[in-house]
Amino acid sequence: MRLIRPYGTRNGWDNGVSVATLGLSEAEREAVARLQRDVVEPSMTALVILQFTAEWCGPCKQLSPTLDKIAADYADKGVKLVRIDVDQEKVIAAQFRIQSIPTVYAFYQGQPVADITSYRTEGQLKRALDQLILQLGVKGEAAEQQAEIEPLIAMAEGVLADGEAERAVNIYRQIEEMAPADPAVIGGLARALLAAGQKDEARAVLDAAPAEIANHADVSRARAALEVTSAVPESDTSELDARIAANPDDLEARFELAGAKMATDRDAAADALLDIISRDREWNDGAARARLLQLIEAQGLEDPWARAQRRRLSALLFT
């Protein structure tokens, strides 16, 4: 990617694009105004991809669909695509000293910041844009929204950790109005509903989550928590205890005991599952390991208890 220094009028591009309009026709003055409106002003907050093109240009027609797709993919990251026909906007093409097309510049805060003409594939262009966005600190709508809701999510999580489930639900409901498709909001709301005893509502929230975030860590954690909460605890596990005492290798009894304890005693459930893994890690196609990982995920992967159980599991699997 070639970074470019601004050029144009004798005094440069101070305070944005400056095109002398003296002696221009009315149509040319309108073109200059469109450049200011469509490129310069949006570039004060967005990264504008400026493509110079023409109807007769074959390579331009080949590149345009790729740029259209990238602009759509990067819209929430603060990227905007603008095209200028060099035949219709000759004064603008001359101002930029366009000698061949397609020519593609990146514009930011009123200035051309990079020549990305040489990049023609989607992968090349996206890597160039990612680099520019990072270097220039471009903030799209998604980033701005994330910065706005992050402290609210932290507040809701703190309230939930303090045992005020209903209040956490109310906070998450308010955040949901701001960011209805955010996976952290969907997952947090579902977990708050579970803590408040509203299992059906939690399931409905997760079932309504957009397909593209179904496997996001926050949504997966909430689903794991739902499965753990859905486990029916047994008040009397004496029969299972007796079976295990009579036959320590009764892995089915240990698995049933873990299921009975999952919703009420995570330590006992984890111990029972780790006992199974220590005796036969592949028992029932790895069912004990899968159930333990589900229990860990439900707690949150960064939870101290969850980290401790992962260490216990790793010690069994890799020693």
User: Six-digit token pair at 104?
Assistant: 């593609």
- Catalytic: 57? yes
Pick the catalytic residue from 60, 86, 165, 224: 60
Q: Helices 304-317 and 287-299: crossing angle, nearest 10°?
A: 160
Pick the catalytic residue from 1, 19, 47, 57: 57
Rounded to whole angstroms, the Cα distance separating 228 from 192 reads 14
Rounded to whole angstroms, the Cα distance separating 228 from 241 reads 21
User: Six-digit token pair at 243?
Assistant: 């079976």
User: Six-digit token pair at 220?
Assistant: 């997966």
Give the phi and the psi of residue 103 in degrees, each rounded to 5. Answer: -120, 135
- CB-CB contact of 171 with 107 (8 Å): no
The torsion of the CA quartet 142, 148, 150, 154, rounded to 10 degrees, works out to -160
Looking up tokens 């000698």 gives: 99
Rounded to whole angstroms, the Cα distance separating 244 from 241 reads 5
Which of 223, 184, 193 minimizes the C-alpha distance to 206?
Answer: 223
Which are the catalytic amino acids? 57, 60
